[in-house]
């Protein structure tokens, strides 16, 4: 790493000299490295917190509600969110190039053990950490590198640049290093395949929301480029900072994503080489990846018995890519807050609540909710409703144009699988009551974790978003609104209370 920092320093010195007043370039002067372009050299999170002094609205607390609801307050929940993020950060500190709360790995086991102890501390009944076997294999990147190779034709003292934000795309394999010229092919969705054969293709995408919205076109363009003979595809995800973006899997060959600053550097270098008739920029790609079999992941369950034996499941996925603050440490934090709240006898629920921290959301073959259904047949017979807590309290970021961090939260797409009029009106009333941000139209699509619960044939609901930090290394604690955590917790407490008291026909008409 020191080598790259040294490069940054020497470039800065050279360019400072270039820019000084009265400087005339003489024969024999040093030409700046990399055509005078400045590489990023490190991963860099963009700003994800509203500007200092910006006013964040306090949570709405209707008269008479504050008392006894300490468990639902933002700072209390944020403590849990920080602890959950810590398990991912530990994996990074241990020197893993890829990190997160990864199902099948120690970081998720630690998260599950922590949740189990939280549930026990709260006094939930029947607390269990349930380990289940993967039903498929799991691709895992151990180490990798995307290196732009030096050529003195690009300027004196040009040295190799390692693109720090590069991250391989799921299922990529590079048994022996790939070294080839890199060519810019335009925007994903409309790439040119002319002349890509034998080369590494660099395509561009600029998400207006997050990686989720770019998924189909990036994957299809990648597959097209590989089919046209490209030896690898690099996708430049143009966003603020220089983030890892882990998405766009199954690209048809070896693929990497790079972040904003690295994309600017690489595309500018390609352009400059062309303009100055210098040799093409070449990259060297390495990847040590393995396909793991026989992994095990964990779910954690615990009950709060109600006056009725009928069950409402409250689920949050434990696993993440990177820190996963908004995906899904905030959901897990609210899960614990709700467990604390309903465990107080004054808040004893009408229906029984089954709290679930689930594994395998991000890992193929390790679907947590499906395993909850398979491993708990007696409990499952009693379930009337499933509520999934996911992506609850991230600040609203406008990625295009610019990068604006707002004081409110990302609006959630709210889905209710059976379009129950009672649930729709309850959700709308609760959103207004607590200022919980949802989009006006409530849909019946419930993608993600709720799929595993589909065999129960009961109402399933969630409010979820996929903003600019989706599956990026910038999804950090700083992006979470403490006030937003409280809005989410109060919203869901209200919905759970109302659904607890509703008739079975109102929930599942």
Using CB under 5 A as the criterion, which residues of the chain lie in contact with Zn ion when the complex forms?
327-328, 390
CB-nearer residue toward Zn ion: 202 or 314: 314
CB-nearer residue toward Zn ion: 361 or 490: 361
Give yes or no for a contact between 471 and 383, defined as CB atoms under 8 angstroms apart. no
Q: How far is CA 28 from the centre of its chain?
A: 50
Please state the closest distance from residue 449 (CB atom) to Zn ion, in A.
7
CB-nearer residue toward Zn ion: 210 or 349: 210
What gap in Å lies between CA 261 and CA 38, rounded to an integer? 9
What gap in Å lies between CA 292 and CA 141, rounded to an integer? 10
Please state the closest distance from residue 362 (CB atom) to Zn ion, in A.
8
CB-nearer residue toward Zn ion: 101 or 351: 101
Q: Could you tell me which of 322, 81, 332, 365 has the C-alpha nearest to residue 211?
A: 322
Beta bridge partners of 397: 405
CB-nearer residue toward Zn ion: 207 or 500: 207
CB-nearer residue toward Zn ion: 320 or 418: 320
Q: Which residue is nearest to Zn ion (CB)?
A: 327
Q: Is the dihedral of CA 160, 278, 9, 94 positive or negative?
A: negative
SS (HEC) of 211-265: HHHHHHHHHHHHHHHHHCCCCEEEEEECCCCECCECCCCCCCCCEEEECHHHHHH
How many CB atoms neighbour CB 82 within 10 A? 15
Please state the closest distance from residue 309 (CB atom) to Zn ion, in A.
30
Please state the closest distance from residue 390 (CB atom) to Zn ion, in A.
5
Give yes or no for a contact between 414 and 427, defined as CB atoms under 8 angstroms apart. yes
The token pair at 14 is: 């050279």
Give yes or no for a contact between 33 and 155, defined as CB atoms under 8 angstroms apart. yes
CB-nearer residue toward Zn ion: 214 or 262: 214
Please state the closest distance from residue 235 (CB atom) to Zn ion, in A.
21
Please state the closest distance from residue 328 (CB atom) to Zn ion, in A.
4
Please state the closest distance from residue 448 (CB atom) to Zn ion, in A.
6
* DSSP 3-state of 158: coil
What gap in Å lies between CA 321 and CA 501, rounded to an integer? 37
Please state the closest distance from residue 375 (CB atom) to Zn ion, in A.
22
CB-nearer residue toward Zn ion: 238 or 327: 327
Q: Could you tell me which of 40, 36, 38, 13 has the C-alpha nearest to residue 275?
A: 36
Give yes or no for a contact between 259 and 245, defined as CB atoms under 8 angstroms apart. yes
Q: How far is CA 241 from the centre of its chain?
A: 16
What gap in Å lies between CA 401 and CA 136, rounded to an integer? 41
Q: How far is CA 140 from the centre of its chain?
A: 17
Please state the closest distance from residue 317 (CB atom) to Zn ion, in A.
6
Question: CA angle, corner 180, sides to 175 and 184, nearest 5?
Answer: 120
Q: How many CA atoms lie within 13 A of 389 on its CB side?
A: 33
What gap in Å lies between CA 233 and CA 182, rounded to an integer? 9
CB-nearer residue toward Zn ion: 273 or 485: 485
Please state the closest distance from residue 471 (CB atom) to Zn ion, in A.
9
- Residues 6 or more apart whose Cβ sits within 8 Å of residue 363: 102, 103, 104, 134, 138, 295, 297, 319
CB-nearer residue toward Zn ion: 327 or 410: 327
Please state the closest distance from residue 331 (CB atom) to Zn ion, in A.
7
Please state the closest distance from residue 257 (CB atom) to Zn ion, in A.
18
CB-nearer residue toward Zn ion: 328 or 371: 328
CB-nearer residue toward Zn ion: 45 or 390: 390
């Amino acid at each position: 790493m020191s080598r790259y920092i040294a490069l940054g320093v020497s470039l800065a010195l050279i360019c400072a000299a270039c820019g000084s007043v009265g400087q005339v370039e003489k024969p024999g002067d040093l030409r700046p490295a990399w055509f005078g372009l400045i590489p990023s050299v490190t991963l860099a999170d963009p700003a994800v917190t509203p500007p200092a002094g910006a006013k964040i609205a306090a949570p709405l607390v209707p008269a008479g509600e504050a008392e006894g609801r300490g468990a639902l307050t933002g700072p209390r929940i944020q403590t849990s969110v920080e602890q959950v993020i810590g398990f991912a950060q530990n994996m990074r500190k241990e020197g893993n190039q890829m990190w997160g709360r990864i199902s099948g790995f120690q970081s998720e086991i630690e998260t599950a053990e922590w949740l189990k102890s939280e549930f026990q501390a709260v006094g939930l009944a029947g607390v269990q950490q349930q380990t289940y076997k993967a039903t498929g294999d799991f691709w895992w990147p151990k180490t990798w590198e995307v290196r732009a190779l030096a050529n003195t034709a690009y300027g004196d003292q040009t040295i190799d640049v390692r693109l720090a934000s590069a991250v391989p795309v799921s299922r990529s394999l590079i048994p022996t290093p790939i070294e080839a010229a890199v060519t810019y092919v335009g925007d994903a969705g409309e790439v040119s395949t002319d002349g890509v054969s034998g080369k590494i293709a660099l395509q561009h995408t600029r998400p207006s929301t997050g990686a989720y919205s770019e998924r189909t076109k990036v994957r299809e363009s990648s597959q097209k480029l590989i089919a046209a003979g490209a030896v690898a595809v690099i996708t430049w995800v143009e966003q603020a900072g220089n983030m890892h973006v882990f998405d766009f899997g199954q690209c048809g060959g070896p693929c990497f994503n790079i972040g904003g600053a690295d994309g600017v550097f690489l595309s500018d270098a390609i352009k400059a080489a062309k303009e100055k008739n210098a040799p093409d920029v070449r990259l060297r790609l390495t990847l040590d990846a393995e396909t793991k079999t026989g992994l095990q992941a964990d779910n954690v369950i615990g009950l709060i018995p109600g006056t009725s034996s009928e069950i409402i499941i409250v689920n949050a996925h434990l696993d993440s890519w990177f820190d996963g603050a908004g995906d899904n440490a905030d959901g897990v934090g609210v899960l614990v807050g709700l467990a604390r709240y309903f465990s107080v006898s004054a808040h004893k629920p009408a229906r029984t609540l089954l709290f679930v921290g689930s594994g395998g959301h991000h890992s193929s073959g390790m679907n947590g909710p499906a395993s909850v259904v398979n491993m708990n047949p007696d409990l499952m017979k009693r379930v009337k409703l499933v509520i999934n807590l996911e992506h609850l309290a991230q600040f609203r970021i406008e990625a295009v144009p610019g990068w604006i961090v707002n004081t409110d939260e990302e609006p959630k797409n709210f889905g209710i699988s059976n379009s129950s009029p009672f649930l729709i009106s309850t959700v709308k009333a609760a959103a207004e009551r607590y200022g919980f941000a949802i989009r006006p139209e409530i849909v019946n699509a419930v993608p993600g974790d709720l799929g595993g619960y589909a065999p129960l044939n009961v109402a399933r609901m969630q409010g979820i978003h996929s903003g600019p930090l989706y599956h990026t290394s910038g999804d950090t604690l700083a992006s979470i609104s403490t006030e937003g955590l409280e809005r989410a917790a109060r919203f869901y407490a209200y919905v759970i209370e109302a659904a607890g008291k509703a008739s079975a026909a109102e929930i599942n008409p």
